[in-house]
């Protein structure tokens, strides 16, 4: 499939941002005072996480990307701003003086994650309301909106945001979190993974039963499309009385963290470029198959999708 020119695609990403930190080291002994490995840290990296990784993924494909988010007034926020600038993302960061910017710290040895430490808290309602005002202004100059929900509180007004998208005629793509999918009602596309989908609809015994549950959920939430990502089973797109399956592309899985970010970022860029939903899902599936072969939160470049890298 020939790729569209993504340079004119305008994508607005809003949601929970975080700084992903990686500490790499070797384990050669067990602590003498506790039964835990001692890691000699030799290298460290920082990467964009959460909604910021979605924005990075869309920018890596060549789109014009704006990220709207809430951060604290702290060192992780400054690191995020620097990384966003490097990725050529237009960052609109609302500062909350009482908020600690979300950080996920991973300790890795021999390409295996030993430990993850999370530092997080909820933003204030006043800052979230000011962010909603920014959202209304930014909406006018975008083609597609991505709402990346990691359950950290940045999308407390998501119902209002979806309504504003619908009024403005802008597709609203939502990567959900938790068991309350009712808050995503009237979204254009919802992209749960299989585990998230199962939490909401329950288990199933056959493909037919899964499809029935998916269609019931899609209809009850008034979604145009429901895309369930299914790991080794690929992806399934549900539309009104229509089901489209995309098989997984055979590839060694190295790390699935951030795969959902890649899927929704690719969907957004494709739709913003005028592609139809089926072609967008096909490319998102290809992008996911590439990114799971990389360590940690990573992105896929346009040349990789074209098979030239």
Q: Is 279 a catalytic residue?
A: no
Which residues have a Cβ under 8 Å from the Cβ of 117 and sit 6 or more positions away?
A: 104, 105, 107
Q: Which of 180, 242, 261, 276 is catalytic?
A: 261
Show which residues are catalytic.
Answer: 261
């Amino acid at each position: 499939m020939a790729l569209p020119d993504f340079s004119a695609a305008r994508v607005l990403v809003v949601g929970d941002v975080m700084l992903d930190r990686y500490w790499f080291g070797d384990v050669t002994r067990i602590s003498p005072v506790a039964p835990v490995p001692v890691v000699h840290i030799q290298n460290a990296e920082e990467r964009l996480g959460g909604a910021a990784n979605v924005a990075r993924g869309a920018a890596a494909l060549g789109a014009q990307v704006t990220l709207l988010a809430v951060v604290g007034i702290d060192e992780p926020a400054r690191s995020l701003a620097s990384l966003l600038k490097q990725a050529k993302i237009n960052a609109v960061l609302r500062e909350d003086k009482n908020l600690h910017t979300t950080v996920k710290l991973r300790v890795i040895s021999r390409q295996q994650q030993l430990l993850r430490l999370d530092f997080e808290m909820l933003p204030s309602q006043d800052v979230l309301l000011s962010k909603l005002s920014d959202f209304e202004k930014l909406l006018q100059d975008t083609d597609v909106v991505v709402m990346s929900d990691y359950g950290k509180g940045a999308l407390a007004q998501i119902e209002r945001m979806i309504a504003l998208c619908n009024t403005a005629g802008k597709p609203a793509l939502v990567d959900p979190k938790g068991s309350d999918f009712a808050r995503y009602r009237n979204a254009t596309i919802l992209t749960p993974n299989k585990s998230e989908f199962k939490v909401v609809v329950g288990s199933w015994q056959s493909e037919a039963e899964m499809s029935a549950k998916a269609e019931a959920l899609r209809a009850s939430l008034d979604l145009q499309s429901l895309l369930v990502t299914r790991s080794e089973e690929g992806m399934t797109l549900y539309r009104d009385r229509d089901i489209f399956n995309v098989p997984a592309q055979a590839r060694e899985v190295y790390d699935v963290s951030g795969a959902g970010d890649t899927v929704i970022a690719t969907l957004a860029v494709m739709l913003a470029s005028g592609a139809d939903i089926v072609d967008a899902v096909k490319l998102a599936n290809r992008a996911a198959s590439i990114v799971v072969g990389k360590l940690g939160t990573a992105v896929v470049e346009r040349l990789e999708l074209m098979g030239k890298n």
